[in-house]
Amino acid sequence: MALRPLHDRVLVKRVEQGEAQVGGIIIPDTAKEKPQRGEVVAVGNGKLLENGQRCGLEVKSGDVILFGKYSGSDVKIDGVEYLILREDEILAVLG
Amino acid sequence: MALRPLHDRVLVKRVEQGEAQVGGIIIPDTAKEKPQRGEVVAVGNGKLLENGQRCGLEVKSGDVILFGKYSGSDVKIDGVEYLILREDEILAVLG
Amino acid sequence: MALRPLHDRVLVKRVEQGEAQVGGIIIPDTAKEKPQRGEVVAVGNGKLLENGQRCGLEVKSGDVILFGKYSGSDVKIDGVEYLILREDEILAVLG
Amino acid sequence: MALRPLHDRVLVKRVEQGEAQVGGIIIPDTAKEKPQRGEVVAVGNGKLLENGQRCGLEVKSGDVILFGKYSGSDVKIDGVEYLILREDEILAVLG
Amino acid sequence: MALRPLHDRVLVKRVEQGEAQVGGIIIPDTAKEKPQRGEVVAVGNGKLLENGQRCGLEVKSGDVILFGKYSGSDVKIDGVEYLILREDEILAVLG
Amino acid sequence: MALRPLHDRVLVKRVEQGEAQVGGIIIPDTAKEKPQRGEVVAVGNGKLLENGQRCGLEVKSGDVILFGKYSGSDVKIDGVEYLILREDEILAVLG
Amino acid sequence: MALRPLHDRVLVKRVEQGEAQVGGIIIPDTAKEKPQRGEVVAVGNGKLLENGQRCGLEVKSGDVILFGKYSGSDVKIDGVEYLILREDEILAVLG
């Protein structure tokens, strides 16, 4: 069973802190809005502009991304926790 | 008797948590703004853009959607409770 | 004596709760922002878009609509109470 | 001495509640934002749109209008009290 | 030494209340945001629209205007107090 | 070492109050948001409009400007204090 | 391992205060929102305008920039701390 995010939203599977240290990323505990890491699982069709054009997202499935700690909404599918974010809440892509 | 939502609104019939577990979706009790699940019953004609164009919705009748717990307005028709949401409050479509 | 609403406003005559139950609509007392029902009596010429185009309303005289409890402004004409709403405050049309 | 309102503003002379009842309009005392009645004395050239177009007002001198109690700014010219409103604060035109 | 206001700003010399009564304008003491009167001394080149067009002001040097009591910023040049307002803060022109 | 402001920002060197009185400008101590005076040292390329056009600034290096007391951010380069303002925070140009 | 910022964001490596004094920049301790200095490491593809056009950034890798103290989000990659800013939070470029 799949989840298709709407518009400029993306479905993200969080990557554990332990894994993050393997890749060299350490997110400080003291930061107020801690950036966090996840893998993009699905993306929406893009944001609708005021001229009627739909603008595809810059991220795609498989991308590993950083986002703020309190961004998005948590959902659980088949026992796995996911996060639904707007693309604007994504800080950067690792690559 | 039918309800036709206006513009970018959708009419939604909530799906019970019990059903949700059959499909594998579990929504955590502790989440502040709990995502929830429903079936789209009717959709509006779409959002009016500033260039005068009307943009049809990405969801259609029959779609099962996730949305935040406190989204939308509740109404009851012929003894059945419905929810009226803006499309922007829909997090994702299951499919 | 008639009232002509401006722009995207509509003039609405509230429909009593008693009538609402005949049609099958029951609005729960506990809802914080109770949707309510009314009949459209007159509509404005539509919203002015930033490109100078005026966009006619989706509702017309005679439509029965649902709206939130605290929406709009109350006026009384010839002893009858009316409500003036923006079209954006209309949740749905019964049809 | 005349006052010419700017842009989308209108100059309004309030109509007394006593007169209002002759015409059949009664505004409830308990309403939080009481709609009120006035006659348009002068109108601005209209609102400037983002495309550079100026959009004339829907109301004209002589129109009797309804507006919210706390709308606009009061001024007194030659001993007569007037109100300066934006057109958007006008609820409806009587006609 | 002259001051040239930027964009949609105007430079205004306040007109005393005493003078105002000669012209017949009386501003009530009890009004929360008291409209006030001044003479336009200089105007900016106009507001920049999102389409790159610059829109000239509706007021010009010499115009006597009304504005809210707490509008704008006070400056003093060669011992004379002036006010710098945005055109949108001007309620009306006397003429 | 030079500082190039971005977009619609300008780099400003404050002009002392003492100098201001020579030129005749006195800024009252009691004003809540005291306008202040400075000389433009460098300007950005201009604001980006929604149509993709970049709009050059109305001020240029050497202009003496007035701005609100709490506007902008202070920086120090080679021991000299500067201020970085958005053009929209500039009230007027002396000329 | 690299980080690619999205849209109008930039990845920045902070420059120590010690280094800053060599170059002559001193940022006062008392300023409420202290400007700070950093080197741009990577930039996004630019901001998406409402007409569908993407607008490249004014800064590029290697630029030394000033920004407010509380701007952006901190991340750590391979033991080095970085900052992710929106271009709009950049005050100026040194050079």
Confidence of residue F1 (pLDDT cuts 50, 70, 90): low
Closest CA to D47 of D5, D11, D84, D12: D5
Check if the beta carbon of residue E83 is closer than 8 Å to that of residue E12. yes
Q: Enumerate residues 6+ apart whose C-beta is below 8 A from F66.
A: E3, E75, E84, F25, F35, F36, F37, F90, F91, F92, F93, F94
How high is the pLDDT of residue D63?
97
Query: What does the pLDDT average to over E43-72?
Result: 91
Q: With contacts defined as CB-CB under 8 Å, which chain G residues touch A50?
A: 50
Check if the beta carbon of residue B77 is closer than 8 Å to that of residue B4. no
Query: What does the pLDDT average to over F44-73?
Result: 91
Nearest chain A Cα distance for residue G27, angstroms: 23
Measured between its terminal Cα atoms, the distance across chain E in Å is 28
In tens, the pLDDT along A9-19 reads: 999 999 875 54
CATH match for F1-14+36-95 among 2.115.10.20, 2.30.33.40, 3.40.50.1820, 3.40.50.300: 2.30.33.40
CA distance to F72, G18, G27, G34, per residue, from G30 (Å): 15, 18, 9, 8
Q: Which of F9, F51, F52 faces G91 most closely, judged by CB atoms?
A: F9
How high is the pLDDT of residue B81?
87
What is the chain D residue with the closest CA to E87?
D6
In tens, the pLDDT along D34-81 reads: 568 999 999 999 998 888 889 999 999 999 999 988 889 888 877 888
The more confidently predicted of residues E1 and D12 is D12
Phi/psi at B14 (5° precision) = -60, 145
How remote is the C-alpha of D62 from its chain's centroid?
10
Average pLDDT along chain G: 82
- Give yes or no for residue A33 having a pLDDT over 90: no
Q: Name the helix (H) or strand (E) containing G81.
A: strand G80-86
What is the chain E residue with the closest CA to F20?
E77
- Give yes or no for residue C23 having a pLDDT over 70: no
Q: How many other CB atoms sit within 10 Å of the CB of residue F45?
A: 16
Query: What does the pLDDT average to over B58-68?
Result: 94
The more confidently predicted of residues D72 and E27 is D72
How high is the pLDDT of residue B35?
61
Q: Which of D23, D50, D90 faces C6 most closely, judged by CB atoms?
A: D90
Q: Is C50 on the interface with D (CB under 8 A)?
A: yes
Q: Which of F24, F47, F87 faces E1 most closely, judged by CB atoms?
A: F24
- Give yes or no for residue E22 having a pLDDT over 80: no
In tens, the pLDDT along G62-86 reads: 999 999 888 899 888 778 889 999 9
Q: Which of A4, A75, A77 faces B95 most closely, judged by CB atoms?
A: A4
Q: Is G27 on the interface with A (CB under 8 A)?
A: no
Ranges of beta strands (E only) in A29-72 are 35-43, 47-48, 54-55, 64-68
* Spatial distance between the Cα atoms of F2 and G23, rounded to a whole number of angstroms: 11
The chains found to touch C (3+ Cβ pairs under 8 angstroms) are B, D
Q: What is the torsional sign of CA C49, C51, C52, C55?
A: negative
Domain boundaries, chain F: 1-14+36-95
Q: Enumerate residues 6+ apart whose C-beta is below 8 A from D54.
A: D45, D46, D47, D48
Q: With contacts defined as CB-CB under 8 Å, which chain G residues touch F51?
A: 49, 51
Check if the beta carbon of residue C1 is closer than 8 Å to that of residue C18. no
Ranges of beta strands (E only) in chain C are 3-5, 9-14, 35-43, 47-48, 54-55, 64-68, 73-77, 80-86, 90-94
How high is the pLDDT of residue F31?
41
Q: Name the helix (H) or strand (E) containing E90.
A: strand E90-94
* Spatial distance between the Cα atoms of F83 and G27, rounded to a whole number of angstroms: 12
Q: With contacts defined as CB-CB under 8 Å, which chain F residues touch E77?
A: 24-25
- Give yes or no for residue B20 having a pLDDT over 70: no
How high is the pLDDT of residue F24?
57
Listing DSSP states for F4-23 in one string gives EE-TTEEEEEEPPHHHHHHT
- Give yes or no for residue F51 having a pLDDT over 60: yes
The chains found to touch F (3+ Cβ pairs under 8 angstroms) are E, G
What is the CA angle E26-E32-E38, rounded to 5? 45
Q: Is A16 on the interface with G (CB under 8 A)?
A: no
How high is the pLDDT of residue B44?
95
Q: With contacts defined as CB-CB under 8 Å, which chain G residues touch A93?
A: 3-4, 6
- Give yes or no for residue C83 having a pLDDT over 70: yes
